[in-house]
Amino acid sequence: MAPQYKLIMTTCDNQQNASLLAKQLVTLKLAACVNILPTIESVYMWQGEVVQQTETKLFIKTKSDKLSKVISTIKELHNYDVPEIQVLDVTGGNLAYFHWMDEVLN
């Protein structure tokens, strides 16, 4: 049986854009909760150059049936040309939390 819950990670260029994206995902009932880590340091290759910059990390909690809509919404609202979107299967945890997610996302 495929995992029913997903954790999606993405980054934004600042906390304001991260908050806007998080609020939109929760308002649209695409995410039950979004955690925002305000300051991370990222080092990556972009257009042939090594870039080091401060970003904001988002951890988006959702259900599998909402995954494609979450991804399309991130792409639509994000200001990066190529936003990070990584999806992890949630295979266990607090059942009471998952019941809460079910209620919120219905």
The DSSP letter of residue 28 is T
**Tens digit of each residue's pLDDT (9 = 90 or more) over 74-99:** 999 999 999 999 999 999 999 999 99
Domain that holds residue 14: 5-104
What confidence score (pLDDT) does residue 3 get? Answer: 74
Domain count, the chain: 1
46/76 Cα distance (integer angstroms): 21
DSSP for 57-77, written as a single string: EEEEEEEGGGHHHHHHHHHHH
Proportion of the chain above pLDDT 70, given as a percent: 98
Residue 43: its H or E element: strand 33-46
What CATH number should be reported for the domain holding residue 23?
3.30.70.120
**Tens digit of each residue's pLDDT (9 = 90 or more) over 2-36:** 679 999 999 999 999 999 999 999 999 999 999 99
